[in-house]
Amino acid sequence: MTLGSSRVAVLICYEQLIVWPVLQSMLGGPDLIVAVGNGWWTKGTSIVAIQRASTAAWAKLFAKPLVFSFNN
């Protein structure tokens, strides 16, 4: 997606854990990654932490800034 003059790769919930959506998004040459999700139903688990770690690793691998937004 384009936001102003920047190209943004948006990864929604479980897409942060699957290889294909990330690689497909990186083919578009985004300037940054925005990761969003809904974690209220995962209370008491490490699911949100795993998604955060996975997305941070992808962002670091591709040298992209990351914006992470999750409701818990």
What pLDDT tens digit does each residue of the chain (72 aa) get? 888 899 999 999 999 999 999 999 999 999 999 999 988 888 899 999 999 999 999 999 999 999 999 987
Cα–Cα dist 12/22, whole Å: 10
Q: In terms of Cα–Cα distance, which of 65, 27, 20, 70 is closest to 50?
A: 70
Confidence at residue 49, expressed as pLDDT on a 0 to 100 scale: 92
Q: Where are the domains of the chain?
A: 2-70
